[in-house]
Amino acid sequence: MGEKLKIAYAYLGGLTKITESDAKILTHINIAFGLIGSDGLLRTDGLRHMDMIPQIKRWNPSIKFVLSVGGWGADGFSEMSRSDAGRKAFAQSCAKYVDEQGLDGIDIDWEYPCIDWGGIVSDSADKSNYTLLLGELRNALGNDRILSVAVGAGEFFIANTEMDKVADICDYVQLMTYDMRAEGCFVAGHHTALYASEGDTEGRSVHDSVKRFIKAGVPAEKIVIGAAFYSRIWREVDTKDGADVNNVLSKYGLMMSAKGEGVYGYSYTQLVKEFIDKNGFVRYKDDKAMASFLFNGSDFISYDDPESIAAKCEYIKENGLLGIMYWEHGCDETHELIESIRL
């Protein structure tokens, strides 16, 4: 087996938070985000702290820098990818930037083909155009540059793409196995669990996502799973709502209904400072899900910690997966989470 990948997404100030010890752990850094301009070409004016790259390379000369294009609410993919000329021009603009900046490749984070979530334009033709776009990027980048994708962890992404063809084109596929419970979900639970909780019949877990993508034609050895350096919160959780929940942890809010949906929460830095066994919040571990959570009698906080990330690393090794990535590096100034990545 080759080297396992350890990939950090660095957003806005994320590059400035990378230390020498971090750099020596990581194999790749995905710089977030490039966007698509109104002309259909790559736009990079939103990138920050690119001047940190030489220093990080001095710390770890073998580390790879990949530009991630897209992200939540990033528009322009559907329109740009509808024509051969549009795909080709965009791909060439990406290759040009990679060459000019001395980067190692491109990561496409289209959230999501065929779906207008996040207010983006979508079309049923996105399914085939997604594949065609990646093919054009591979042609422009060549085989010596990295081409990766970040994909939604659920069945919805598989249904709207041709993942067997995508996997053939790309070097690896990064499953965004976080936010698996989020906005629109009014049942408190884990947003980035390794396995499903007792009583959770929906199967929102790393394990279930991996099984789905392998079945869809993505080889295990090309799969990178995701970890979260941030939390999701459900407020006003009702532990006495009479729900038929087969879980001994339901009295602490797990799998119980909430008045609010699962909103984006605190960074791991904030959790350590103010919430983990502090200010009325108690940490609980769900052994079935291999996941931790916090509860104060009302608010439920789902997050990854060193123990859950270590479990994900063992899962990667046991199942022949390629590696782990996480969103987002700037969310952990304790460096406890990255230090728990042992692959």
Return the closest-CA partner of residue 151 out of 85, 216, 202. Answer: 216
**pLDDT score, position 157:** 98
- pLDDT at site 246: 59
> Where do the structural domains in the chain lie, given as residue ranges?
5-230+304-339
Confidence category of residue 203, pLDDT binned at 50, 70, 90: confident
pLDDT at 24 over 90: yes
pLDDT at 199: 81
Cα torsion angle, 219, 220, 221, 226, sign: positive
5-230+304-339 maps to which CATH number?
3.20.20.80
> Which residues are registered as beta bridge partners of 239?
none
Distance from CA of residue 231 to its chain's centroid? 13
pLDDT at 242 over 80: no
Percent of the chain with pLDDT strictly greater than 90: 94
Quick one: pLDDT at residue 1?
59
Confidence band, pLDDT 50/70/90 cuts, at residue 216? very high
- pLDDT single digits (tens) 161-176: 999 999 999 999 999 9
Overall average pLDDT of the 232-237 stretch: 97
Any residues with CB less than 8 A from the CB of 193 and at least 6 apart, and which?
A: 180, 204, 205, 206, 286, 289, 290, 291, 302, 308
User: Residue 243 pLDDT more than 60?
Assistant: no
pLDDT-based confidence at residue 247 (cuts at 50, 70, 90):
confident
Q: What would the pLDDT profile of 51-94 be if each residue is shown by its tens digit?
A: 999 999 999 999 999 999 999 999 999 999 999 999 999 999 99
When pLDDT is averaged across residues 140-158 and rounded to a whole number, the result is 98
**Each residue's pLDDT tens digit, 92-127:** 999 999 999 999 999 999 999 999 999 999 999 999
Token pair of 340 as six digits: 């728990």
Residue 245 has pLDDT above 60, yes or no: no
Strand partners, 35: 43
Average pLDDT over residues 329-340: 98
State residue 241's pLDDT score: 58
Average pLDDT value over all residues in the chain: 96
